[in-house]
Structure 1
């Protein structure tokens, strides 16, 4: 008797659990989805949006590898002396 392969069970997560796993704002996640840089959400019903947990975990692992390899482009360090509000005050040492 030949064992039958079990169908893979896909676990999905809703927005609240996604926020616990990926600490990004909703708009950031949405923008990244639109650019193809984050796993796409899909609708279970007309009002229930979910993400595939395996895809999110794979995305996190890929980001971890890219970060360790220094392949992630980082934002430049801001020059606080150029900002228009709350400029740096130079203290005088006695």
Structure 2
């Protein structure tokens, strides 16, 4: 049974939220570096939105700051 307040997203929603290709997401999932999809029916899969949001926050926290466009590094 699903926990109250849990939101599931399907592939199309995931790809709008995470700017990665399907193959990259699959490879990250297989490596244990991205939230795992799970079957909601025999033909449909979904991801837990909270897990995806937590992954995005983790990536943001670990990101190396990038210079603003047009500014050269010393």
* TM-score interval (norm. to shorter): 0.7 to 0.9
Confirm or deny that 1:53 pairs with 2:49: yes
Aligned residue for 1:66?
62
Structure of greater relative contact order (alpha carbons < 8 Å, 6+ residues apart): 2
> Under a length normalisation based on structure 1, what TM-score does the superposition of the two structures give?
0.63
Aligned residue for 2:32?
36
Between Structure 1 and Structure 2, whose CA radius of gyration is higher?
A: 1
SS of 1:45's partner is coil
Structure 1 runs of 4+ with >6 Å offset:
none
Q: How many residues align?
A: 62
List gaps (5 residues or longer) in structure 1. Answer: 1-6, 71-94
Task: Give the CA deviation at 1:8.
Answer: 2.9
What are the residue-to-residue correspondences of 1:1-94 with 2, within 5 Å? 8-67=4-63, 70=64
